[in-house]
Amino acid sequence: MQKIKLLPEHEIHKIAAGQVVDRPANIVKELIENSIDAGSTQISLYIEDGGKELIRVSDNGCGMLEVDAKKSIQKHATSKIRSLDDLESINTFGFRGEALASISAVSKVTILTKEEKAEQGIKLEVQESNITDESLVPFNTGTDIIAKNLFYNVPARQKFLKKRETENRHITQLLHSFCLDYLAIHFKLFIDGKVSLNCPPTKDIVSRTAQIWGHSFAEHMIPIEVEKPDKKITISGAITNHQYFRYDRSNIFFFVNKRWIKNHQLSNALLKGYLNAMPPGKYPAACIFIQVDPKEVDVNTHPRKEEVKFLHPRTVASLLQTTVKKALEEHLSAQLHKKVTLSSQDQQMRPQQTDNTYSSASSNFQPFNFDSFLKQSAQKTSGNVYTPQPAEQNVPEETPVQHSSRIEQLEQAQQPTPIQTSITPSYTQHAIEQQQYNIVGQFKRTYILIEKEDGLFFVDQHAAHERVLYQIFSKRFEEMATVKLLFPQIISLKEDDIMALERHLEIFKSNGIEIEVFGENQIIVQSTPVHIKDINMQELVQEVIAWIYEYQELDKDEFFKKVNEKMHAQMSCKAAIKAGDTMTIEQMEKLLADLEKTENRFTCPHGRPTGWILTIHDIEKKFKRKL
Ligand code: ADP
Ligand code: MG
């Protein structure tokens, strides 16, 4: 029996269309690019149910004549290229002429358009690429395209559409990129009937960022500009200064020859430019415009042109890195020159840090010590990057709960293992697993030095404690002590973030953190595991929100696993003793004893080694006692 059948033409078309548009943001991109190509100065985008229900782009561009409008939905219909030779020199976005054809193959499309000289506008209803209804209507010059019920006729694809919030986030970020790229265009975004963004034309990128992210954000922006005439490269735009950071990369935008692109090498170069000014796991915001000779860049490496390949990637990357570094240095030295001390608001913009392993060039913090930690922890504020909190919170100076050191908390939380020790002024002897060792002391208040039979052992106190805590958080939750905070931490967040968080409060709960949503913009942390009761919860919560966004496309179990792991690592990192903390011999012993009992004890949860040994053999070789 004959088995192979040819698919009907319209089925083939639907499958091909699904490859061009696989999510609502792709449609938005194609429609807005068309509006820009049409010379629009006003573009409004309307989204319903994450774009699954409705996407509408309305512009005041050149519009289409009736005959062109009808052609526009056909495959390979384009006004932008006539032959392959045009491909090289093309300046507009589209050149495949398949966007409208694809969109109308997988959604119910309405096109309303009027060309300047036409008397009336034309309205077309399109289904499965066929015009099902047409009429002449009064209309202003421009085009309005509505795509409804995405994938109504391709159920297999519909299943893969993500939650409304996920799609909204993709679309919003895309629109941000257009706003940053086209300052002269008035963009508006309406999500489920509410105005979400309104960006009238501006002259400079910094005021555009103020329209998108608010004035307090834009205050941190430093404009950059550099030209390398010999290489025909120009880099311009703006980056945030060292007083700002966020927990994800979603505010880093690169544009190459005016096209928004993603490029790993450029991201790395940007972050390298921030070296020493940005703690690990934290990211700046940046809008970088790179102008290069079109021959120096291949834009056809990605089906939707979202990535590019440079002919000389290192030249571009190193120019970017040095430009960023220089801009930050100049900004810093200008600030110092003005003898500007940080205003109290600025201090809150940067969440309080007590971890000097993560010190930054700009920081004005003191090395950690227990005394100051105790005082500081009684005054912690919940200031954050977005919504500064009042500097002073009404927290009493001392409470029994807040008066214990991190090491003491460790002891409270676990049943202390009785250890037999005999402490001499400089040495202490201790036997674990029949192995003898002496703690020589603490080096640089960061490393524990241990004398062993076979050499000198260095243990990184922070990494070691992190590993111990990680095990407690991930393995022994039932045994983990939690405390109700005497002074619950109130944290201000953006509405979107609260919505994202609200759906995942269970993850916090399963880690001993009890959170209640309090109004539209605030949450209250009521209780935490005893180990982390003094940490800056604002920071942890924002990190978790960033992970929620990052991982939300995974399936439920994978998502829970990922976020949970990250959370354990971060809680451990924050609660662990820091480099710079003075430790007593007893505390060092306790930590080493705990480390001995911990799985994977040779690395911290981030993969750094907890310790290493300088063998007696190596030492003797250095002294030329041995060869
Ligand atoms: P391409 O953009 O690659 O040419 P599209 O399928 O996106 O292909 O659009 C087909 C044609 O429809 C365009 O070449 C353009 O002439 C016309 N068109 C589409 N959208 C608009 C719009 N918003 N304003 C004016 N013309 C438009
Ligand atoms: Mg197009």
Of 160-174, 255-269, 406-420, 606-620, the range with the lowest mean pLDDT is 406-420
Averaged confidence pLDDT in the chain: 79
Distance in Å, CA 47 to ligand 1 centroid: 20
Look at residues 350, 618, 204, 2 and name the one whose alpha carbon lies nearest to residue 627. 618
Distance in Å, CA 559 to ligand 1 centroid: 40
Which residues have CB under 8 Å from 476's CB, separation 6+? Answer: none
Which residues have CB atoms below 5 A from the ion given as ligand 2? 34, 94, 99
Ligand 1: which of 21, 37, 57, 74 to mutate, most ligand atoms within 8 Å of CB? 37
Over residues 160-167, the mean pLDDT reads 86
Of 75-89, 260-274, 281-295, 497-511, the range with the lowest mean pLDDT is 75-89
Question: What is the layout of strands, in order, in the sheet containing 221-228?
Answer: 221-228, 233-240, 286-292, 252-256, 259-261
Of 267-271, 343-347, 513-517, 557-561, the range with the lowest mean pLDDT is 343-347
Alpha-carbon distances, residue 152 vs 93, 103, 584 (angstroms): 28, 12, 68
Ligand 1: which of 29, 31, 34, 73 to mutate, most ligand atoms within 8 Å of CB? 34
Position 400, amino acid:
P
9-201: what fold? Heat Shock Protein 90 (3.30.565)
Contact status, residue 538 vs residue 351, Cβ threshold 8 Å: yes
The residue whose CA has the least distance to atom 25 of ligand 1 is 63
pTM of the prediction? 0.64
Over residues 493-520, the mean pLDDT reads 89
Ligand nearest to the CA of 77: 1
Contact status, residue 43 vs residue 187, Cβ threshold 8 Å: yes
Q: What residue segments make up the domains of the chain, in order of their start?
A: 9-201, 207-336, 357-627
Per-residue confidence band for 414, with pLDDT thresholds at 50, 70 and 90:
very low
The residue whose CA has the least distance to atom 7 of ligand 1 is 99
Please, is 586 exposed, middle or buried when counting C-beta atoms within 10 Å of its C-beta (0-12, 13-18, 19+)?
middle
Distance in Å, CA 190 to ligand 2 centroid: 22
| Rg, the chain, Cα only | 30
Please, is 63 exposed, middle or buried when counting C-beta atoms within 10 Å of its C-beta (0-12, 13-18, 19+)?
buried
DSSP code of residue 7: P
pLDDT tens figures, 419-447: 222 222 233 333 334 457 789 999 999 99
SS3 47: strand
End-to-end distance of the chain based on CA atoms, in angstroms? 81
Per-residue confidence band for 198, with pLDDT thresholds at 50, 70 and 90:
very high
Give the H/E segment covering residue 9.
helix 9-20
**Total Cβ atoms within 10 A of residue 441:** 16
Distance in Å, CA 63 to ligand 2 centroid: 13
Q: Which CATH architecture has domain 357-627?
A: 2-Layer Sandwich (3.30)
Over residues 144-153, the mean pLDDT reads 94
Distance in Å, CA 63 to ligand 1 centroid: 9
**Positive or negative CA dihedral for 415, 419, 423, 426?**
negative
What angle, 0 to 180 degrees and rounded to 10, lies between the N-to-C axes of helices 537-551 and 556-575? 150
Angle among Cα 389, 284, 261 to the nearest 5 degrees reads 135
Q: Which atom of ligand 1 is nearest to the CA of 103?
A: 6
Q: Which two tokens stand for residue 454?
A: 């076979």
Ligand nearest to the CA of 76: 1
Position 63, amino acid:
G
Distance in Å, CA 343 to ligand 1 centroid: 51
Strands 297-298 and 42-48: unpaired
One DSSP character per residue, 573-608 reads HHHS--TT----HHHHHHHHHHHHTSTTTTB-TTS-
Distance CA 377, CA 380 (A): 5
The residue whose CA has the least distance to atom 27 of ligand 1 is 34
Which residues have C-beta atoms less than 6 Å from ligand 1? 30, 34-35, 38, 59, 61-64, 72, 77-80, 94-101, 143
pLDDT tens figures, 450-461: 998 888 999 999
pLDDT score of 226 more than 50: yes
Q: Which two tokens stand for residue 439?
A: 């703690």
pLDDT on residue 417: 31
Contact status, residue 613 vs residue 467, Cβ threshold 8 Å: no
Q: Which atom of ligand 1 is nearest to the CA of 61?
A: 24
Distance in Å, CA 197 to ligand 2 centroid: 24
Distance in Å, CA 276 to ligand 2 centroid: 43
DSSP code of residue 540: H
Give the H/E segment covering residue 83.
none
Q: Which CATH architecture has domain 207-336?
A: 2-Layer Sandwich (3.30)
Cα torsion for 586, 590, 595, 597, to the nearest 10°? 140
